[in-house]
Amino acid sequence: MEAIEKVSTEVEKVITKFTAINEHSSKLIQNEINALEAIKTALQEQSSESEMLTPQQINLVKSTIARSKEKLHRLAVDHRDLHGTVSKVGKAIDRNFIMEYHQVVRQDLFKNEANIKLLDENIAQHFYRQGMNDVADSLVREANLKQEQINEDPFAELHKIFEDIHHRNLTTALAWTEKYSKELEAKNSTLEFKLHRLAFMQILKGGINSQNEAIAYARSNLSKFVVKFQKDFQVLMGCLLYLKVGLETSPYNYLLSDEMWIECADTFLKDSCNLLGINKESALSTILNAGCIALPALLNLKQVMMSRQVSAIWNELPIEIDVERYHSIFACPILRQQSTDENPPMRLKCGHVISKDALNKLSSASISSLKCPYCPSEMVANDAKQIYF
């Protein structure tokens, strides 16, 4: 963030200087145009039968040309100064941003066909979630993926409804909330009321002629919200009083603003994902966001990352990255290590879970049986089963 602010400061200097030069040069050029027009008019008024200019007229033209050349030179100097200010932006970018990331990248990561395939599948899944089916279909075809490998994501339907709300189309959203009305009410959601409020306001935009239709809609769809949203309901009824003069000039004109639609769309996305138990972000978006958070810290350790003596860090992060509620799937409570493909989580007979390395250490210390580190249960190592998340 600090790097962005430093570059932003240089950009602001360029914009400020450019604006000043633009205003100055526009005024100067216009003054010269006016001066030339004045000379032209004066010469036409003083013209005689002779086509030759008088000495006074020649001096006037020469002085005007000399003055114009001088001002043109000043503009050129200002322009050169602007180039110097612009070049400082490039230097600030080079000084504050890292252009080479190869020190913190595993070069062999995408030489593996399985990894490439997994990446393609995640990209295709992301496109399907965003409703970009044609792009996703092209990727599936060109990457030789199997359609059944790309899970059908329920988020695609939610994203379409989300886009419909932004385009002032409430049909699909209202149908969805009607389907899940009881579940939304159980979660104390405000979504259904907000959608019907927008629909009510859409009707009122028709003016006084839409009054009866609006009242009928309120009776059919908004009456059940009277107790829970009493004040909001009173505001909606108050809108009816301003239909003759226009809602745009009323105290309730905020109900017609774009922000109401944006808020409702965001509420839909949040509540629908919560209800269906799915993530608002695709796996690809989550990975990219986590990578952007991790990259600055890893760049600070790039010399360590390049050291041959710490090659193990290529299989796990050498430092903890704060990604809020996201965490590793399993961390061994005994060895304090994250699980890996080589060191998977193992379920003991009693139900407790430890890592495979911890299991091996416990079993090697005992000839016949091993004891669970968290309860009195005893078992043999073969009783443990690998678990998969």
Q: Are residues 12 and 85 in the same domain?
A: yes
Whether 161 is covered by a domain: the verdict is no
Of 73, 96, 119, which one is at a domain's C-terminal end?
96
Report for 26-35, 90-99, 161-170: range of highest mean pLDDT? 161-170
pLDDT in tens, 202-258: 999 988 999 999 999 999 999 989 999 999 999 999 999 999 888 888 899 999 999
Assess whether 358 and 260 both reside in one domain.
no
Give the pLDDT score at 364: 77
Residue 377 inside a domain? The answer is yes
| Domain final residue, candidates 260, 276, 292 | 276
Residue 264 shares a structural domain with residue 181? yes
Q: Do 271 and 371 sit in the same domain of this protein? A: no
- Domain boundary among the residues 258, 276, 294 is at 276
Q: Is residue 365 part of a domain?
A: yes
Q: pLDDT digits over 48-97, tens only?
A: 555 677 787 788 888 888 888 888 888 888 888 888 888 888 888 888 77
Does the predicted TM-score (pTM) go above 0.85?
Answer: no
Number of structural domains (the chain) is 3
Residue 260 within any structural domain of the chain = yes
Residue 202 domain flag? yes
- Are the CB atoms for 337 and 359 separated by under 8 Å? no
Report the alpha-carbon distance of residue 248 to residue 255 in Å, rounded.
9
For 265-311, the DSSP string reads HHHHHHHHHHHHT--SS-HHHHHHHHHHHHHHHHHHTHHHHH-GGGG
| Residue 299 falls inside a structural domain | no
Does residue 19 have a pLDDT over 60?
yes
Residues 181 and 261 in one domain: yes
pLDDT for 45:
73
The whole domain housing 272 covers 167-276
CATH number (domain holding residue 338)? 3.30.40.10
What distance in Å separates the CA atoms of residue 184 and residue 207, rounded to the nearest whole number? 32
In a domain, 40, yes or no: yes
Lowest mean pLDDT, pick from 64-68, 225-229, 305-309, 342-346: 305-309
Span of 56-65, 259-268, 322-331, 360-369 with lowest mean pLDDT? 322-331
Residue 208 lies in a domain: yes
Average pLDDT, the chain: 84
Looking at residue 204, its pLDDT comes to 92
